């Protein structure tokens, strides 16, 4: 929302197709967002560095996969590493591409397939911003000796960094907020991605599996993420 006392959220659009960039920018601006546009992959990281220094960092990046210069995959990884709290929505040309992207665990917050309606883009942008802000609200979440550091997207078990990916961190975070509550795979997917059609339940299972493995490396005796047969998963710190 664009009130005069709060600056509008700024969306960086990285897209080499001028028509698409213009269309998306128009819709976002019509919905109260400010936009910036880059059309070359090589320009993105230096631009973000400068924006950060000038205190003009964007609130979200819409990132095309196929770009001249540095490609979207590389950029997404770099952004995740250097600015872990900056949400990224990837724009891809094909639905089939999304499964592969998810497998690569780039840490993008959402994926939108071309061709898309600009209205869909606005809805996704709003949803991702809402979600990432909700996820960052409290500074730390504690479950006995497991601590989530929201600023650094880290989970510490007995002070030891579990080295979680963004998706694993989110999954753990969602479950830790309601200990003992059983989450279906569907509900967990809701917290991960907006578009159910493109994420299979197996994707959730494989992220959970990796999450449990990482916790198990620190606490081999404890099983704090439990699977509930036929239903889903829950966080259960105590017996």
Which residues contact Ca ion (rule: CB under 5 A)?
16, 64, 66
What whole-number distance in Å separates Cα of residue 93 and Cα of residue 111?
10
- Report the nearest approach of Ca ion to the CB of residue 47 (Å): 17
Phi-psi map region of 104: left, alpha, beta (phi>0 left; psi -120 to 50 alpha): alpha
Cross-strand pairs, 94: none
- The residue among 22 and 191 lying less far from Ca ion, judged by its C-beta, is 22
Residue nearest to Ca ion as judged by C-beta position: 66
- The residue among 66 and 182 lying less far from Ca ion, judged by its C-beta, is 66
- The residue among 93 and 178 lying less far from Ca ion, judged by its C-beta, is 93
Please, are residues 66 and 93 in contact by the beta-carbon 8 Å criterion? yes
- Report the nearest approach of Ca ion to the CB of residue 106 (Å): 17
- Report the nearest approach of Ca ion to the CB of residue 209 (Å): 34
What whole-number distance in Å separates Cα of residue 47 and Cα of residue 235?
41
- The residue among 16 and 120 lying less far from Ca ion, judged by its C-beta, is 16
What whole-number distance in Å separates Cα of residue 212 and Cα of residue 236?
12
């Amino acid at each position: 929302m664009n009130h005069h006392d709060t600056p509008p959220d700024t969306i960086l659009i990285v897209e080499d197709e001028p028509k698409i960039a213009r269309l998306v920018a128009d819709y976002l601006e019509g919905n109260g967002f400010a936009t910036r546009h880059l059309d070359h992959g090589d320009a993105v990281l230096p631009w973000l560095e400068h924006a950060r220094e000038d205190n003009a960092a964007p609130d979200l990046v819409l990132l095309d996969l196929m770009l001249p210069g540095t490609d979207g995959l590389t950029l997404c990884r770099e952004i995740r590493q250097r600015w872990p709290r900056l949400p990224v929505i990837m724009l891809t040309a094909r639905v089939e591409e999304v499964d592969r992207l998810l497998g690569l665990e780039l840490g993008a917050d959402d994926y939108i397939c071309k061709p898309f309606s600009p209205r869909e883009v606005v809805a996704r942008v709003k949803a991702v911003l809402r979600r990432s802000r909700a996820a960052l609200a409290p500074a730390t979440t504690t479950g006995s000796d497991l601590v989530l550091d929201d600023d650094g997207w880290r989970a510490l078990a007995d002070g030891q960094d579990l080295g979680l990916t963004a998706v694993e961190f989110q999954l753990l975070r969602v479950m830790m907020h309601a200990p003992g509550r059983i989450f279906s795979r569907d509900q967990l997917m809701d917290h991960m991605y907006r578009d159910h059609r493109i994420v299979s339940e197996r994707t959730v299972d494989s992220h959970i599996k990796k999450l449990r493995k990482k916790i198990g490396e620190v606490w081999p005796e404890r099983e704090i993420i439990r699977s509930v047969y036929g239903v889903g998963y829950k966080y259960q710190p105590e017996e």
